[in-house]
Structure 1
Amino acid sequence: MTANLAGKRPSTTVVLAMSADGKIADVRRDRARFSSGSDRTHLEKQVSQADGVLFGAGTLRAYGTTLSVSNPELLTLRLQCGKSPQPVQIVCSSLGDLDPEWRFFRQPVPRWLLTTEAGARRWEGRAEFERVLVVEATREGFNWIAAFAQFWELGLQNLAVLGGGELVASLFAVDLIDELWLTVCPMILGGATAPTPVEGSGFLPDLAPRLELLSVHTIEQEVFLHYRRQRDPVNL
């Protein structure tokens, strides 16, 4: 992950696996089961490099857990860099409607909740989250500029964004995505309603975010693509 050059906010890297036709889950929006052990190793490496991991309530609802760092070498590298053993796991939910019985709440990881005032009231006096961060919500979603300012003030310099597609779209819409890692898996899922890496209302071609391909490599039948967001020099 590269250092952020745009100001007082964390840099962001989206990390997702998708089918060959660009789906991150099937039409049931169930947890993705099509990536390999190599992709999981790749995902854990990206997570290990982050100060925080950002994901939506729908992603947590599908899996019930999050990916923690378990590889001893990656844990050692984090400690050598002065980081905590695990990155902060940040759930985004405007209503805070999360089930405290999910296994996520028993995992040995630091947990934060990004929500609205209404969502924060659900968790008053509870210990499941170390921090509950409150930001204003609009029709387009959270006030992400304000949220990222809070992340930076709390010491998060880089974030891994693990989905879902609505979250990624909302961050692209306010130009808060810096890099993407996309693993292309050898499977066709299809389905007009199956989720994709970037959902939302979409971008017209003239306004579409542009990417620079940094690297491409294959492991067995999977292709790992690494992109960087292209920006005009005046916006860096």
Structure 2
Amino acid sequence: MQHRPHTTVVMAMSADGKIADVRRSPARFGSLADKAHLERQVAASDAILFGAGTLRAYGTTLTVSHPQLLQQRTHQGKSVQPAHIVVTHSGKLNPEIHFFKQAVKRWLLTTKAGALYWQGRTEFEQIIILETSTQKIDISTALQHLTNLGITRIAVLGGGSLTASMLELNLIDELWLTVCPLILGGASAPTPVDGIGFLPQLAPRLQLLEVQTVEQEVFLHYRLQRLVD
């Protein structure tokens, strides 16, 4: 039995599989259809999970604004906005960015060292400190803890390092990948899954659930195949 929230990675990428350019600039190449798709995934979730690098790049987070989606959340007894959870080992974030002015519940998932900077501050409603023996974030235990807080569905919005770490621990259930009609290139440009990579025999396997084409973009919906449940 799964004692953690259902997790769905949602990312847009270029046709050559890059989620940003070599400068790691904010990826704004998705269409309005892609943004609407992302907002639907956010609205369907109890919490949004993203790494510090993603937050530093954008300086903001995507909130639910469409009236119908807001109404659906209200009818389901949910808060207007899901919780927005930043994952960072160091805790080093600029408190002046727009994210800290947005009307959302901000949670911080970090280490003991990362929490020090935010002691006595009010920017985060909750600070969750869970670390391994190597003083890294214990993401697996963190997801179990989020279940105890009533979080049943999570949208993972990047970046590639966070997604890689969760895939390595078998903590991802689904992926939505939007393929956008441009080529970014660059050996150092980030991809949906960074990290050290997987050898073919150990690579996570996917089951294609759905393909949608909207104008020039392709929306791919996958489920992670489980060898052992």
Task: Give the structure 2 partner of residue 127 of structure 1.
Answer: 122
Post-superposition CA distance 1:9-35 (Å, at most 9, x none): 001000000000000000000100211
Contact 2:111 2:135 in 1 (8 A): no
Match of 1:64 in 2: 59
Alpha-carbon distance, 1:186 to partner: 0.2
Kept in 1: contact 2:111–2:136 (CA 8 A): no
Aligned to 2:83: 88
Q: Contact conserved, 1:47 with 1:53, CA < 8 A, in 2?
A: yes
2:16 aligned to which of 14, 17, 21: 21
2:221 paired residue number: 226
Partner SS for 2:94: coil
Is 1:206–2:187 an aligned residue pair?
no
1:41 to 36, 46, 49: 36
Choose the corresponding residue for 2:181, options 176, 179, 186.
Answer: 186
- Normalization by structure 2: what TM-score? 0.98
Identity %: 61
**RMSD of aligned Cα (Å):** 1.1
Distance in 1 between residues matched to 2:217 and 2:187, nearest whole Å: 23
The structural deviation recorded for 1:142 is: 2.1
Which of 171, 179, 182 is matched with 1:176 structurally?
171
For 2:211 and 2:73, the matched residues in 1 are separated by: 26
What secondary structure is seen at the aligned counterpart in 2 of 1:142?
coil
Partner of 2:25: 30
Q: Which runs of 5+ in 1 are unaligned?
A: 1-5
| Amino acid aligned to 1:110 | K
Match of 2:106 in 1: 111
Please state how far the C-alpha of 1:92 moved relative to its aligned partner. Answer: 0.4
- Give the corresponding residue for 2:156: 161
Identify which range, 100-109 or 147-156, moves more after superposition.
147-156
Instruction: Give the residue type in structure 2 aligned to 1:86.
Output: Q
**Deviating more after overlay: 134-143 vs 27-36:** 134-143
Contact 1:141 / 1:170 at 8 angstroms: preserved in 2?
no
Structure 2: segments with no counterpart, 5+ residues: none
- Contact residue 140 and residue 170 of structure 1 kept, 8 A: no
Q: Take 1:129 and 1:202, find their aligned partners in 2: how far apart are those partners? A: 33
